[in-house]
Amino acid sequence: MLFCTTLLRCVFVILWLFKFVAAGVVLSLMSESKPPPEPSTVPLGPQTWEEHWWSQIKDTPWINYQKFQCEGMDENNQVYNKKDFTDKIEKDSRIPLTDHPIYKKRVFTLRHDVQFKGQHGLISGDKVVVKLVDLGQATASCEVVALQKYTTMFVTSGFMMEDNVKKGVIISLRAPGEPLHKTQKWKEQWRAWGYSDEGQIPQMVDQLAEKVRVHVYDELIVKHGIVHVDLSSLNLPVNTDGEFTLIDFGHPSIYHVRRVPTREEFDAWFEQRWRHMWNWVLVRIAASRKKQAQATHRNRNMKRRLPRGES
């Protein structure tokens, strides 16, 4: 009996000592090196996506923010009443450019046999984008004014009657390419993502961001005194060479600047704006980088624990 009691006490002491030894080993392994910090994602905070969309404009001192105000405002009669496109833009000649239930009715291209005459001469319907606008909005004329003044994409404008409603019509050249997330290269990389390394998605986004950054600052802010704030993928179609075209010059995408910001000021604003507009993919990039960083950290610690001469 005495032997059994002594044996149980010995077992208890051994287990108690093992507990502390194991804890010490764990702490030692954890202290070998700190895990890499988590890549930062977009801190949206308590505001909604739309609230951030506006606050990044109105809270920027060098942007001349005036909500529902734009260059060419209240000029709908002048820019839309000259030509009637009711017979030319029939519903059966339209080809949607998006699957979005609202935008596919407002923005589309046309059959090849439909032609328009503009400052570029005769242009076939498949080479243009037709946008229908609400003439009840005083800001509807702003896009026509901006396209004429700041781009070479404008073809013509007019009106049409549809379902007994008069609508404004903007016809502009169709930008080559398609949004980055709809390109074949993107789709292939996106499918492979998670099965190999990060692939080329982060590089594609970073390269586009740098090109857009330079264009907005040099070509819009410095040259024309305006800034384009809607830098979403849909407004940046990319061709097969990786070159982009910035589209959608309607309100509220375009604002005048109070002054030309320094490059540092603009870069800080652009970084936040780009993160906001591309949050949906940047979060995934950050998660992918975090996963890879953690894997690298684990492998490094495993190698440290291997006896010398083994790998």
pLDDT value of position 24: 46
* Helices and strands: H and E segment counts in the chain: 10, 9
Amino acid at 34: K
pLDDT for 26 equals 36
| Domain-embedded: residue 222 | yes
Is 273 inside any structural domain?
A: yes
Q: Is residue 119 over pLDDT 60?
A: yes
For residue 32, is pLDDT > 50?
no
| Contact in structure between 285 and 61 (CB atoms under 8 Å) | no
pLDDT of residue 304: 60
Output the pLDDT for position 99.
81
Q: Which residue has the tokens 């702003």?
A: 142
- Tell me the pLDDT tens digit for each residue of 157-176: 999 999 899 999 999 999 99
DSSP output for 2-60: HHHHHHHHHHHHHHHHHHHHHHHHHHHHHTSSPPPPPPP----TTS-HHHHHHHHHHT-
Is 92 in the same domain as 162? yes
Query: Of 157, 173, 189, at which residue does a domain stop?
Result: 173
Same domain as 297, residue 184? yes
Percentage of the chain exceeding pLDDT 90: 54
Any domain includes 240: yes
Q: Are residues 139 and 190 in the same domain?
A: no
More confident site: 112 or 302: 112
Q: State residue 22's pLDDT score.
A: 45
The answer to whether residue 48 is domain-embedded is no
- In terms of residues, how long is the chain? 311
Task: Look at the chain and report how many structural domains it folds into.
Answer: 2
**Domain-embedded: residue 219:** yes
Of the three residues 120, 138, 173, the one that is the final residue of a domain is 173
Closest CA to 72 of 163, 3, 162, 170: 170
CA distance 93 to 114: 8
pTM, full prediction: 0.76
| Residue 141 counted as domain residue | yes
CA dist 16 and 67 (Å) reads 70
- Among residues 173, 207, 234, the one where a domain terminates is 173
- Would the pLDDT of 47 be above 80? no
Beta bridge partners of 173: 128
Judge if 184 and 298 occupy the same domain.
Answer: yes
Instruction: DSSP letter for 97, please.
Output: S
User: Could you tell me if 110 and 165 lie in one domain?
Assistant: yes
Evaluate if residue 271 carries a pLDDT over 60: yes
pLDDT at res. 27: 38
Q: Could you tell me if 97 and 153 lie in one domain?
A: yes
Cα dihedral: 129, 135, 138, 140 (round 10): 0
Per-residue pLDDT at 277 exceeds 50: yes
pLDDT band at 148 (very low <50, low <70, confident <90, very high): very high
| CATH number of domain containing 80 | 3.30.200
Residues 206 and 235 in one domain: yes
pLDDT tens-digit readout, 60-79? 999 999 888 899 999 999 99
Q: How many degrees, rounded to 5, is the angle at CA 231 between CA 226 and CA 232? A: 155
pLDDT in tens, 255-269: 999 999 999 999 999
Residue from 57, 82, 226, 78 nearest 138 by CA:
78
Domain of 237? 180-244+261-303
- Tell me the Cα Rg of the chain: 29
Whether residues 195 and 163 share a domain: the answer is no
Q: Which of 137-141, 262-266, 307-311 has the lowest mean pLDDT?
A: 307-311
**pLDDT confidence band for 102 (50 / 70 / 90):** confident
pLDDT at 310 > cutoff 70: no
